[in-house]
Amino acid sequence: MTKNQQTDLLMDIPQHLFCDNEPKEFVRLRWVVIAVISLLICLDNWALFYRLKPLSILALFLVSNLFLNLSSKKIFNIPFFIDAIFIIDTLFVTLILYFVGKADSDFYLIFYFLIILLVSLNQDVRSVVVMGAVVSLIYGWLLFSLGVLKTENSVHLFLRVLLIFLITLFYSYILNRANTTRQTIQKYRQLAIHDELTHLPNRRYLNEYLKFELKRSLRYKRPISFIMIDIDDFKNINDKYGHDAGDIILKEVAALLDKNKRENDLVARYGGEEFLWVAPEADKKEANSITNRMLEKIRGNVFRVNSSYLKITISIGASTFQPKKHTLAIIPEVVSKADEALYQAKYNGKNTCIYLEC
């Protein structure tokens, strides 16, 4: 499982609900806007659709989106690229209204609302407000350049420009509320699947992760190693230095394990002072390399607990699930081998690792 897949499984909801959508999503929304604009022109006056200049502008709109669709995702990372696209879209709409002679039409005002809606679905609140102001100014310029503001309906037209900006503020308010809700949901989802003390994934998430990885292991016939880690004499630490000291040790060990795992590995708190390290595509040799490295890391680390400095050790039990030997993987059974190996490591005097075949 890649880092991104772990994140998706951890959150179980899209990372961004309204802001920072994937480029493909942005392009799809832009196709919708183009289709709606074309449809509205046809519904209002079919003949307008065949005028050369507005048709040419619409064709440019289509070509630009086709270019975005075929472009690399990296182009979307260029600073202010998306903002520039929205300004170009606003100019496209403005030119269409100019050439069809519908600048003073309430019906065609919908075009600008579509652009603002597209902005609100892909940008943050600040960008929405700024782009709303830009759209309002461009529309005001269009009315002024056509001399429409000199007519008796100038107050009505001014109110229409103001309406565009007010709609922008409304979209911004909705976007802000949606982002707040999303962040709250993410916060509670995070709490539900992470251990409160160590901030590592908890058993709930671990079980889902194991289901995924074991299925993948069986499908692609690749090994997966399980490394059970237990802090030696942890009860003595609690008794001698207090439970707060024990919590500090747990957090620091958790951080050390998480820092040293491979990119696609997972370290979770299994319970008490136990941790489970899951290493996809790691065979016996790789598992032993991980365990020996972590034994040395913990032995060589000095843990500061209040005014005291402690050196601790860990015991490790490891096993590797070989899909070539199995047609079915049951989570308790594959993990139990590592647990059994850990028990033997404790029995053999601690501060060591025992490896058992799964």
How many angstroms separate the CA atoms of 187 and 185, rounded?
A: 5
For residue 347, with 0-12 CB atoms within 10 Å meaning exposed, 13-18 middle and 19 or more buried, which class applies?
exposed
Known catalytic residue: 273? yes
Q: What are phi and psi of 75, to 5 degrees?
A: -65, -25
Q: Are 323 and 358 in contact (CB under 8 A)?
A: no
CA 9-121-119 angle, 5° bins: 145
In angstroms, the Cα distances linking 153 to 157, 200, 280, 296 are 6, 64, 70, 82
- Whole-angstrom distance, CA of residue 279 vs CA of residue 286: 9
And the tokens for 70?
A: 């075929």
Catalytic pick among 25, 208, 263, 273: 273
Instruction: Find out whether 238 and 303 touch, Cβ atoms under 8 Å.
Output: no
Active site residues: 273
